[in-house]
Amino acid sequence: MSGTALPAEGCIDLWLLDGSNPPAGIDAIDLDGEEEARAGRMATAELRARLRRRRRFLRAVLARYLGLAPGDVPLRAAPGGKPALAGETRLRFSLSHSGELTVLAVGRTELGVDLEQRKPFDRLAEVVAHSCSSRERAAIAAAPDAATAFLDRWVVKEAVLKCRGTGLVEDLAGIDPGPVSREPRDWQGLTIRKLRPPALPSGPDLHMALAVEGPAERIAWRGLESPVAIPFRLSDGTGSRWAAPLTGEGILDIAPPASRTQRNS
């Protein structure tokens, strides 16, 4: 199956899913039993649908790199609960979501991405006091919008934690690399930067950050107009097959293999 080449050393691919406008065919991707059980534990039908769509999105993108059908991507939970791929692979990824939006970062080294959309804070001062350094607290207090200033720093902390695989057991106040912009910044062996996907309008309501182990000078936003493969039935009724995009990008060509061969000849 054709697909997408693994990013070069020092390069990170970024994929974005808007669940309110999902790629065609994504809901046809099979999930495993654990994923379905996890979705079933969600409190509402909307949350169950969002989780299933996120997992299908993850499978669809990773399948491009692995040359597999999305349902065959061997996902597992690493120590600490971080999602990972089973077996030996150089592929590393990190997933984050907020509301209908999901972002997936893919590279050759450990990495973490975090996405937050603006939401009401009932106890912002308490959260800031618990999670921010004295320098950060002073900057947030002086900012014209404390919630925006806090979220700008929070996504950096979360991205670092995901990259390290430590979760929230680490001292959050100790993660203070200083001001972070969309230009890469080195901090404690990590490359940290803010992100802004080109497909979304700029503004204070979306906060996103990336942390990568080692140098990461280049990022590339990728498009997933359709999953890497969607099920279809051949005209002779012999059974279901999987169609791959001819170029590894863009909308799928789901013609039977013979037709595709003739078209490429």
* Same-domain status, 47 and 107: yes
User: Is there a domain that residue 146 lies in?
Assistant: no
* Same-domain status, 167 and 255: no
User: Is there a domain that residue 207 lies in?
Assistant: yes
Q: Could you read off the pLDDT of 55-107 as tens digits, one per residue? A: 999 999 999 999 999 999 999 887 777 788 998 788 999 999 999 999 999 99
**Cβ(205)–Cβ(198) below 8 Å:** no
pTM: 0.81
Question: What is the residue range of 179's domain?
Answer: 11-120+155-222
In the chain, % of residues over pLDDT 90: 56
* Same-domain status, 248 and 201: no
Residue 184 pLDDT > 90: yes
In 3D space, the residue among 179, 182, 187, 185 whose CA is nearest the CA of residue 143 turns out to be: 179
* Same-domain status, 241 and 203: no
User: Is there a domain that residue 144 lies in?
Assistant: no
- The alpha carbon torsion through 244, 249, 252, 257 (nearest 10 deg) reads -40
Give the chain's mean pLDDT. Answer: 81
